[in-house]
Structure 1
Amino acid sequence: MGSLNIGIVAHVDAGKTSLTERLLQHTGVIDQVGSVDAGSTQTDTMEMERRRGITIRSAVVSFSVDRLQVNLIDTPGHPDFIAEVERALRVLDGAVLVVSSVEGVQAQTRILMRTLVRLRIPVLLFANKIDRPGARYQELLDSIGEKLTPRQLAMSVVTGSGTAGARSLPLPLSEGGRAAAVADLLAEGSDAFLEAYLDDTAHLTEGDYRAELTRQVRHALVVPVYFGSAMTGEGIAELLRAIREFLAPPAGDPSARLRASVFKIDWAPGGEKIAYARVHSGRLTAREAVGIYHRDRTGEVVADTGKVTSVRVFARGTTTHETAAGPGDIAQVRGLAHVRVGDQLGSPEGLPAGGFFAPPSLETVVRAARPEQNARFYQRLQRLAEEDPLIDVRRHEADRSISVALYGEVQREVIKGLLLDRYGIEVVFEETTTVYVEKVVGVGHGLEVIWQSPFAATVGLRIEPGPPGTGVRYRIEVEPGGLPAAFHKAIEETVRQSLRQGLYGWAVVDCVVTLTDTAYFSPVTSAGDFRKLTPLVLMTALRAAGTTVHEPVNQFEVEVPDDTVRAVMSRLTAARAIVDRCDTHGPVSRLYGTIPAGSVHQVERQLPGLSHGEGVFVSAPSGHRRTTGSPPTRRRTDGNPLHRREYLTHVLKRG
């Protein structure tokens, strides 16, 4: 039958990990439900997770429902770990989106739902915490319809909402006045169902309704909504039946070419790398060589090979057993020393071209508290970056300092804790700064002719603005055969590498670079000549074109008591936030808008004092906007090709 891979996704504190525990208990995997607060859950296994009571790394557990093997991935809810959620989404057959009946739909919930819709992943929505004071039913359904999806369908009704005796009662599809509303919803997604419903001679049964609902859920057209409580177990049986009925195992071909996605990296106690891979097709077996594919910074597919020494498939809970992995299986794979998160095993077909979420927008310099640990510290930090590719580690050649790009302050504290817990290395972070980007303004040209520089090469480049969101595009106007392929590759790779530091030191985005001139002198010229010359030419062109600096901004939502709106608005204005909308619902007001990413942490810290301790602030990356005043700068690490003499001194010293 295969395995079904589902993810539990939600905003922080919605109850994802508690729901996972209850599902495991209800299916007989564990006898007693663990506690997030006590640090006794199955999925939060890291010491840091137990201390903080949050999920940091995705975890896999397995259970069975009516002989269907279900691999469940518990993902982080805090926005600082959105990259971890992104990797999990790539391997899912379906998702359970958890919303708190008390706190309702949050900004992070909306971001996750939009991504699930974009990927056409079938979704079941579980409204948790119906036993908590303040739990809502119809108001929450209305909010789900307004903020998440208009094609939602309540599958249960709640009695005793907000009390310890709250109960979730299943709702039929085809009985009473509800039948017409359900039929209208299903008819929007199926002409055949609409014709059958309007046919006076036909009599649609409950089974007909459920069959059509199943089809539309599996095609991500309708989202069933279940109510319950992970703490009491109410509604869990109905959710399990929905997982079995509405979410389908993949139809991968075990005889086809192997294709498996690596979505997590872990480490064995002895230091061996363990890759978590979801198999889409073919079979993954031990003691066999496999192709390893990823995209480099140019977007090109890079191939490598490795020999698998062990394949272990999840069987029950967190236990695994040694066996070949087939379509739908999630396996722990050992022996691939150079494998990274995002790699694909066996085949490059379907290798993703990019991410779903914005890259980190904050940066901080970090150093070991004890100088004698600096060399070891850098190695261990690089290992953490292997687990999370969006932890961008930069080393400054001049003073050997190290900076790390992050999503937020919580992630910074987690990195600090992981380095101490795992490796005994205490680190010190300097003040967090914003990571800006540069955008090209005009068109610029640069040219260096052979023998007129210390390099035996000619390079001519043109740079111009590109459409928003397209990154760096590279084109060739010269005759491709006039230059060896290795030299062409050296130029393109160097262009992309050099554009990580523009006129002000920030990465240049959304531009088109065109190679206009080339020459070389055989046998003197080497690829190194082109690699060293290209930054000089590119920076000449970039200086002629000009760039502007843009800062990252977040969409935000603030919920505060109505009598504190003026004070909160004043603070948001001081933080250079732009408030687009203010909605008032009784004694509570919600403010929506955009805010510079660098101001988020400060507003979060000050909000409790401005809102009687009752304010809620959530935000998520949403792009960039141009800065005003003097552009901020960033220290260069590339030898400074903007300054010819300084750069030549830098590269010629290196031979």
Structure 2
Amino acid sequence: MKYQHEIQKRRTFAIISHPDAGKTTLTEKFLLFGGAIQTAGAVKSNKIKKFAASDFMEIERQRGISVATSVMSFEYNGMLINLLDTPGHKDFAEDTYRTLTAVDSVILVVDSVNGVEEQTRRLMEVCRMRATPVIVFINKMDRDGKNRFDLIEEIEKELNIHLHPMSWPINSGKDFKGVYNLYDKSLQLFTANTKANDEDAIRISDLKDSVLDDRLGEKDAALLRDDVELVDGVHGDLSVKDYLAGQVAPVFFGSAINNFGIKEMLDTFIRIAPLPLCRPTSAREVCPDEDKFSGFVFKIHANLDPKHRDRIAFLRVCSGKFERNKYFHHVRLDKDVRFSNPYTFLARDKDVIESAFPGDVVGLFDTGNFKIGDTLTEGENFYFTGIPSFSPEIFKEVVNKDPMKTKQLEKGLLQLTDEGVAQLFTQFGGNKKIIGCVGELQFEVIQYRLLQEYGASCEFRAQPFYKACWITSNDAKKLDDFARFKGANTATDKDGHLVYLAQSEWFLNTERQNNPDIEFHFTSEIHKETV
């Protein structure tokens, strides 16, 4: 319990959404409130040659999308907030899903114009699997979108979660006049193209106050009174217990681009969001207030700084105290390691830290010792469970366009696939390299980064595979015979484990029936050592 004060100060969360819902813009506004940055970057503006603070890869700045999770820490009202901005694009869902294992709560951004979209549903399913507490921010209220009641109903129905409005909009689109904060009974008026601040808030202890008519006009004031009466009647007071259990999601309305409705959400977030939580391991549940340090790697990123060819492993601290230059036990490798320059991040800016506590995300300089899911402890042998891995859905052969750069290509492929966005297979008995991904855009990013970061030029050739299955057997000879007979469809992953690349569901089912002594697994998790 000796780190209780530090644990109480920390809040660790991810921002998730469908692409273009305004997630990265919202991230920047949080950083502005925390004083971490002075001006927000315009992700898609050609006039302003600044970019989103949380998009640090060149391809992200060119495409105006996030393709990797960014980690940022900042202080706000005496709290230390660890914010993880995730990719919205479905092709990078794996990175987002893994990031959700490293946070304690989530802010889900919904576009008021488009409502609930495909990726929103998929992300919410992952949150529901873990009962992760969720706050919903309905963005772009200054655009003509869906009716506020229809939006609430759609989100509840589509995402299967009860909503609890904490603020309420006055109209939308060109008629948008502001939001009424249901919690502290204040009115925030909206003026297009101006940034909201505290001075704009009008305290209204009673909605019958004539100030409301003066500010909004009689018609809109009457509508707000009716809406608030209805919302209060249906929802009453927020049950923080139900929010923490992932059963109820507080909802805020606003406009991220105009800095509007965000402060109310941030203030509520630090008041009700969960502290660092206990986490399951292969041995027992590990809780933050334990004296001994433990943590796990949920993300690896090569060449965060292209000039230094660095490789950073992102570690979530789960218990105890992480200390610079102290030896910790690397469970999978069964060896002790220490770190002379551990970092905290603000996107591309990083600062060396002396210590970190539960909830913090630390960047560790990595020379190739880490894989996603690795656990560090102070000697105990266990690993944190529940970090997902996925079978690829698209397979392509890597064709080297410059034989003089073969070494660079191989090094680049190994390092980039270590990041977890793709899997690398080598054909059994040969040297044909096949990359498996869950989305087409990942190939474009890999090709771009191989060229920019390693000087290796390649192209991809589509392969007729449907699914990758890791194969194991108690009979080593049968496994070896299968691999030789099915050489064109058998490969090894980068750790040397055998993988069957099925051409279709029919082929997969046939092989499973014909080879009862061989087990077919859809993730590589079975090879994680039990310790």
Q: State the TM-score, normalized to the length of structure 1.
A: 0.61
After superposing the two structures, state which structure 1 stretch, 83-92 or 365-374, moved more. Answer: 365-374
Q: Deviations over 1:340-397 (max 9, x none)?
A: 2221111554522551x64221100112211221232111111101112x52112236
Q: Which residue is 1:201 aligned to?
A: none
The 1:220/1:125 distance shift into structure 2, 3 A limit, reads same
Separation in 2, partners of 1:320, 1:548: 44
Superposition deviation, residue 313 in structure 1: 3.5
Q: 2:328 aligns with which of 290, 298, 315?
A: 290
Residue type of the alignment partner of 2:313: A
Task: Give ranges in structure 2 of 5+ residues lacking alignment.
Answer: 1-7, 186-227, 278-286, 492-497, 512-517, 519-531
Query: Does residue 333 of structure 1 match 2:375?
Result: no
Q: Which residue is 1:365 aligned to?
A: 397
Mapped contact 2:343–2:350 kept (Cα < 8 A)? no
The 1:262/1:107 distance shift into structure 2, 3 A limit, reads same
Q: Which residue is 1:146 aligned to?
A: 157
Q: Secondary structure at the match of 2:356?
A: coil
Query: Does residue 34 of structure 1 match 2:45?
Result: no
Superposition deviation, residue 325 in structure 1: 1.3
Q: Which residue is 1:228 aligned to?
A: 254
Residues 66-465 of structure 1: pairs in structure 2 closer than 5 A: 66-163=77-174, 165-172=176-183, 176-183=229-236, 209-210=237-238, 213-250=239-276, 253=288, 256-266=291-301, 267=303, 268=305, 269-294=307-332, 303-314=334-345, 318-334=349-365, 337-346=368-377, 347-349=380-382, 351-352=384-385, 355=388, 358-388=390-420, 390-396=421-427, 400-431=431-462, 433-436=464-467
Residue type of the alignment partner of 1:226: F
Separation in 1, partners of 2:9, 2:479: 42
Percentage of matched positions with identical amino acids:
26
Superposition deviation, residue 98 in structure 1: 1.0
Residue type of the alignment partner of 1:273: R
The 1:504/1:249 distance shift into structure 2, 3 A limit, reads same
Separation in 2, partners of 1:104, 1:382: 39
Q: Secondary structure at the match of 2:247?
A: coil
Q: 1:14 aligns with which of 12, 18, 21?
A: 21
Superposition deviation, residue 167 in structure 1: 2.1
Superposition deviation, residue 425 in structure 1: 1.8
The 1:32/1:392 distance shift into structure 2, 3 A limit, reads same
Residue type of the alignment partner of 1:181: V
Superposition deviation, residue 316 in structure 1: 10
Superposition deviation, residue 5 in structure 1: 0.7
Q: Secondary structure at the match of 2:398?
A: strand
Mapped contact 1:285–1:323 kept (Cα < 8 A)? yes
Q: 1:5 aligns with which of 1, 12, 20?
A: 12
The 1:411/1:63 distance shift into structure 2, 3 A limit, reads same
Q: Secondary structure at the match of 1:116?
A: helix
Separation in 2, partners of 1:399, 1:548: 15
Q: Secondary structure at the match of 1:271?
A: coil
- What is the aligned residue count? 439
The 1:288/1:163 distance shift into structure 2, 3 A limit, reads same
Superposition deviation, residue 548 in structure 1: 12
Separation in 2, partners of 1:278, 1:341: 12
Superposition deviation, residue 36 in structure 1: 1.2
Separation in 1, partners of 2:12, 2:80: 9
Separation in 1, partners of 2:84, 2:376: 20
Residue type of the alignment partner of 1:275: A
Superposition deviation, residue 258 in structure 1: 1.6
Superposition deviation, residue 291 in structure 1: 1.7
Q: Deviations over 1:190-235 (max 9, x none)?
A: xxxxxxxxxxxxxxxxxxx34xx22221221211111111111111
Residue type of the alignment partner of 2:294: R
Q: Which residue is 2:204 aligned to?
A: none
Mapped contact 1:436–1:507 kept (Cα < 8 A)? no
Q: State the TM-score, normalized to the length of structure 2.
A: 0.74
- State which structure, 1 or 2, has the greater radius of gyration over its C-alpha atoms: 1
The 1:246/1:318 distance shift into structure 2, 3 A limit, reads farther
The 1:359/1:548 distance shift into structure 2, 3 A limit, reads closer
Residue type of the alignment partner of 1:217: Y
Superposition deviation, residue 155 in structure 1: 2.0
Q: Secondary structure at the match of 2:355?
A: coil
Q: Secondary structure at the match of 1:55?
A: coil
Superposition deviation, residue 165 in structure 1: 4.2
Superposition deviation, residue 52 in structure 1: 0.9
Mapped contact 1:42–1:318 kept (Cα < 8 A)? no
Q: 2:75 aligns with which of 58, 64, 71?
A: 64
Superposition deviation, residue 432 in structure 1: 5.2
Residue type of the alignment partner of 2:297: V
Residue type of the alignment partner of 1:25: L
Task: Give ranges in structure 1 of 5+ residues lacking alignment.
Answer: 184-208, 295-301, 439-470, 476-490, 509-534, 540-546, 552-624, 633-640, 642-655
Residue type of the alignment partner of 1:279: V
Superposition deviation, residue 398 in structure 1: 5.6
Mapped contact 2:392–2:468 kept (Cα < 8 A)? no
Mapped contact 1:2–1:328 kept (Cα < 8 A)? no
Q: Secondary structure at the match of 1:360?
A: coil
Separation in 1, partners of 2:296, 2:142: 39
Superposition deviation, residue 172 in structure 1: 4.7
Q: Secondary structure at the match of 1:24?
A: helix
Superposition deviation, residue 34 in structure 1: 1.0
The 1:406/1:437 distance shift into structure 2, 3 A limit, reads closer
Separation in 2, partners of 1:227, 1:498: 61
Residue type of the alignment partner of 2:340: T
Q: Secondary structure at the match of 2:330?
A: strand
Mapped contact 1:548–1:626 kept (Cα < 8 A)? no
The 1:432/1:163 distance shift into structure 2, 3 A limit, reads farther
Mapped contact 1:286–1:311 kept (Cα < 8 A)? yes
Residue type of the alignment partner of 2:149: Q
Superposition deviation, residue 501 in structure 1: 8.7
Mapped contact 2:148–2:169 kept (Cα < 8 A)? yes
Q: Secondary structure at the match of 1:120?
A: coil
Q: Deviations over 1:410-464 (max 9, x none)?
A: 11111111111112222111135443357xxxxxxxxxxxxxxxxxxxxxxxxxx
Q: Deviations over 1:549-597 (max 9, x none)?
A: 674xxxxxxxxxxxxxxxxxxxxxxxxxxxxxxxxxxxxxxxxxxxxxx
Residue type of the alignment partner of 1:292: H
Residue type of the alignment partner of 1:309: S
Q: Secondary structure at the match of 1:143?
A: helix
The 1:123/1:502 distance shift into structure 2, 3 A limit, reads farther
